[in-house]
């Protein structure tokens, strides 16, 4: 009797159909795969803080995978001490340090940055920000340091604020990050289980443009792309004692390896 492994007869006909088109589709998938994407809890807020005479400070706050809450060269930038008054100045205070650029580690917990303002006598200060840096699902609020009684702005609904009250020397940027993307790997149809229906749904997505709500879940082999290799991986797991999908599996969880894929629907 041969010692060579026998492929399960149930999956063999499927593979005979898939293999002739596997190679070109895999190559096309690698070419078309997005190279970079903002993950669920990543964001950047670019602030231009200026006076009416045109003097401006460009500030940056945000969260990013791989960042730390300390100083990272090339990513963070400390701010020097404020010049003597009366003079205009602005910086970000986080963790008792002053920054022109402060990118911290991605975290599901709320975070607060302090926007420090130093007025030139009574000159108003204009704060502008880019609406394109916010990640959907989070809350981004700019308010005064006394609970929002004077200033309380949803930063996703407007892109500027003129501050003419010289007592407002500290404003709070309060952020509730979006929830983490949670999923079960290989649960393509998001029914909470892994079975043949998931492989069928993935084939429908690849060849019939049927939408799927969580591409991370469809990436069964965790190679940061969605293609026929994931179908082969799922079928081998289901019918030929192949390797189990990488985490998160078999329960719901977050992706331990950052990749360019995303989920529009999360599991509980």
239-262 pLDDT, tens per residue? 999 999 999 999 998 888 878 888
Residue 69's CB: how many other CB atoms inside 10 A? 14
Residue 268 banded pLDDT, cuts 50, 70, 90? low
Q: Provide, rounded to the nearest whole percent, the portion of the chain with pLDDT above 70.
A: 84
pLDDT of residue 191 exceeding 80: yes
pLDDT at 16: 52
pLDDT of residue 39 exceeding 80: no
Within-domain flag for 76: yes
Of 119, 146, 176, the last residue of a domain is: 176
Q: How far is CA 239 from CA 4, 114, 142, 250, in A?
A: 17, 56, 54, 17
Within-domain flag for 18: yes
Within-domain flag for 262: no
Are residues 108 and 49 part of one domain? yes
Higher pLDDT, 230 or 27: 230
Are residues 31 and 125 part of one domain? no
pLDDT at 68: 85
Are residues 133 and 192 part of one domain? no
**Secondary structure percentages of the chain, helix, strand, coil, to 5:** 20, 30, 55
pLDDT at 145: 94
Q: What is the 3-state secondary structure (H, E, C) of 106-171?
A: CCCCCEEEEEEEECCCCCCEEEEECHHHCCCCCEEEEEECCCCCCCEEECCCCCEEEECCCCCCEE
pLDDT at 185: 95
Are residues 56 and 154 part of one domain? yes
Of 159, 176, 193, the last residue of a domain is: 176
Within-domain flag for 220: yes
Question: For residue 246, which of 262, 257, 235, 238 has the smallest C-alpha distance?
Answer: 257
Higher pLDDT, 240 or 36: 240
The domain containing residue 237 runs over which residues?
Answer: 12-37+181-254
Are residues 114 and 20 part of one domain? no
Question: For residue 151, which of 160, 163, 167, 159 has the smallest C-alpha distance?
Answer: 163
CB-CB contact of 141 with 152 (8 Å): yes
How many structural domains does the chain have? 2
Are residues 234 and 124 part of one domain? no
Are residues 170 and 134 part of one domain? yes
Within-domain flag for 263: no
pLDDT of residue 49 exceeding 50: yes
pLDDT at 31: 40
Within-domain flag for 245: yes
Question: For residue 113, which of 74, 154, 142 has the smallest C-alpha distance?
Answer: 142
Of 113, 141, 176, the last residue of a domain is: 176
Question: For residue 160, which of 131, 124, 118 has the smallest C-alpha distance?
Answer: 131
pLDDT at 259: 82
For residue range 102-134, list pLDDT tens digits in order: 999 888 789 999 999 999 999 999 999 999 888
pLDDT of residue 41 exceeding 90: no
Q: What is the torsional sign of CA 189, 193, 197, 198?
A: positive
Within-domain flag for 260: no
Within-domain flag for 259: no
pLDDT at 59: 97
Are residues 68 and 169 part of one domain? yes
Are residues 152 and 33 part of one domain? no
Are residues 136 and 55 part of one domain? yes
pLDDT of residue 64 exceeding 70: yes
Are residues 185 and 172 part of one domain? no
Are residues 163 and 77 part of one domain? yes
């Amino acid at each position: 009797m041969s010692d060579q492994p026998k492929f399960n007869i149930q999956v063999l006909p499927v593979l005979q159909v898939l293999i002739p088109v596997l190679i070109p589709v895999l190559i096309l998938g690698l070419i078309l795969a997005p190279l970079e994407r903002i993950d669920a809890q990543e964001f950047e807020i670019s602030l231009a803080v200026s006076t009416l005479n045109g003097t401006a400070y460009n500030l940056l706050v945000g969260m990013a995978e791989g960042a730390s809450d300390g100083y990272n060269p090339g990513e963070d930038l400390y701010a020097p001490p404020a010049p003597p008054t009366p003079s205009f100045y602005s910086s970000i205070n986080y963790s008792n340090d002053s920054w022109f650029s402060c990118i911290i580690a991605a975290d599901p917990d709320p975070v607060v940055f302090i926007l420090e303002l130093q007025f030139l006598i009574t000159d108003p200060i204009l704060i502008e920000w880019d609406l394109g840096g916010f990640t959907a699902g989070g809350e981004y609020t700019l308010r005064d340091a006394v609970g929002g009684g004077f200033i309380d702005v949803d930063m996703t609904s407007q892109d500027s604020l003129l501050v003419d009250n010289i007592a407002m020397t500290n404003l709070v940027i309060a952020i509730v990050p979006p929830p983490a993307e949670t999923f079960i790997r290989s649960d393509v149809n998001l029914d909470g289980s892994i079975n043949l229906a998931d492989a069928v749904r993935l084939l429908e997505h690849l060849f019939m443009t049927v939408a799927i709500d969580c591409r991370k879940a469809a990436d069964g082999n965790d190679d940061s792309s969605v293609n026929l290799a994931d179908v082969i991986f799922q079928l081998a797991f289901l019918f030929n004692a192949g390797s189990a999908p990488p985490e998160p599996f078999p329960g719901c969880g977050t992706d331990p390896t950052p990749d360019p894929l995303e989920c529009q629907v999360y599991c509980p």
